[in-house]
Amino acid sequence: MLIETTGQGKRIPRIDFHIHPGICTFMQPWVVEWYNRNLPVKFDEFIEQYKDPGFFEEFLTREGVDYACVLVEQSYVTTGVTTNDQVRDYCRGRRRLIPFCDVNPALYARPGEELRRLVEEEGFRGVKLYPTYQHFYLNESRIYPIYQAARDLGIPVLIHTGSSVFRGARLKYGDPLHLDDVAVDFPDLPLIMAHSGRGFWYDRAFFLSRLHENVYMEVSGLPPARLLDYFPELPRNTQKVIFGSDWPGMFYIKRNMEAIAALPLDAESVDNILGGNAARILKLEGYQ
């Protein structure tokens, strides 16, 4: 595995904060078409291979990834469904796989209570929100019970921000500015902006991560070699940046980590992005 060290000799794990597993209940046809155009294998072959979490862990080892955050998605209209039960079972007993649930506010009358159950009874260690796909603003009052529960439980909230290529997505919900209210109201809750405002709002994502101690940029789905084009002042903010691949969308994880390591950043900054910041947020042993 790719393990780096800081000046103090501490081992820094390589963590992918954004993995969509090779399991699903169903996938919308336009998403399957996108996968068939962009994956190195056809969608059916991909599902057949990667539905086995052991096979996936072998892939992570080859790619130099020590831990992966595995995401539930319940976006019936826009992309498809991978259930909480499926991800729970996929990650069960596998230390390297860190399960993140999804509490779609359209599906639960009491989403905060459901999140508490998923964490306390099912073992989830984070929650992913999909406002662009599930059509809600991040600062709506009906979402606040999710934030309250996450804060009480001490888990991070990963949030899709920015654009999407998939049919039915509504980009107005992806503006990271709506996260400002949440950051003010829940200053102790780690809020991670997946895709860092991709497309429209790079400047807003960067500014929010600098303004709020609890707001982080996550760079999945962005070409690593272009990060300094999108965020010219990135070297000033590497303690607030987290690596994610959006796998399988960016299939070869190691290639992306190497591209980040090749940026004009010092070794500590690279370690922060590729694992150190995530290890602290996830409260991995030795990083709490």
Record the tokens describing residue 255, joined without a space: 């290639």
Q: pLDDT tens-digit profile of 267-276?
A: 999 999 999 9
CATH fold of 13-281 reads TIM Barrel (3.20.20)
Could you state, in order of their start, the residue ranges of all structural domains in the chain? 13-281
pLDDT band (50, 70, 90) for residue 8: low
For residue 46, the model assigns a pLDDT of 94
Which pLDDT score is estimated for 136?
98
- Residues forming a β-bridge with 12: 4
pTM: 0.95
286 confidence band (pLDDT: 50, 70, 90): confident
Alpha-carbon distance of 117 to 108, in angstroms, equals: 12
User: Span 96-119, mean pLDDT?
Assistant: 97
pLDDT higher than threshold 70 for residue 245? yes
Task: Give the pLDDT score at 9.
Answer: 61
User: Is the per-residue pLDDT at 10 higher than 80?
Assistant: no
Q: What is the pLDDT of residue 1?
A: 39
Instruction: Please return the burial class of 93, using the count of CB atoms within 10 Å of its CB with bins 0-12, 13-18 and 19+.
Output: exposed
pLDDT of residue 2: 45
* Percent of the chain whose predicted confidence (pLDDT) is above 70: 97
pLDDT at 231: 98
For the chain, how long is the longest CA-to-CA vector?
Answer: 50
Is 128 a residue whose pLDDT tops 70?
Answer: yes
Asked whether the predicted pLDDT for residue 6 surpasses 60, the reply is no
